[in-house]
Amino acid sequence: MRSVLRSKIHKATVTEANLEYIGSITIDQDLIDKASFWPGEKVLVVSNTTGARLETYVIGGEKNSGIICMNGASARLIKTGEEVIIMGFEITDRPITPKNILVDKHNMFVKYL
């Protein structure tokens, strides 16, 4: 069995960082659907801006809002305005084709990669 990339949101921009929230990353529900993430799913978030990396879980945000919000302690590592990649993985014994999406500066879907 191997852990392989299953889905990715590429080049998203963090719109908020809420230190007071209990934890997680809030993602526009439209992007969650297009990337095939699940609410509560563990994801790896990597900042293209600073190189910071962290694991957290997905919370659905308002559809078509463009929201990408770092919540809780993750807001100390990745801040508003940073460009991030959000990745989900699957443990499998076979190769899979990941569902990767590209978004624009407003976190609106551009295309499947």
The catalytic position among 7, 36, 57, 74 is 57
Residue 18, token pair as written in the block: 């809420």
The catalytic position among 7, 24, 47, 74 is 24
Neighbouring C-beta atoms of residue 56, cutoff 10 Å: 20
CB 89 within 8 A of CB 44: yes
- Would residue 47 show up in a list of annotated catalytic residues for this protein? no
Q: With CA atoms as reference, report the closest residue to 86 among 75, 97, 70, 63.
A: 70
CA distance 92 to 95: 8
Q: DSSP character for 103?
A: E
Which residues does the chain have with pLDDT short of 50?
A: none
- Would residue 24 show up in a list of annotated catalytic residues for this protein? yes
Only one residue has tokens 């563990």, namely: 42
Name the pTM for this structure: 0.95
| pLDDT value at residue 22 | 81
Domains in the chain, ordered, with CATH?
2-112 (2.40.40.20)
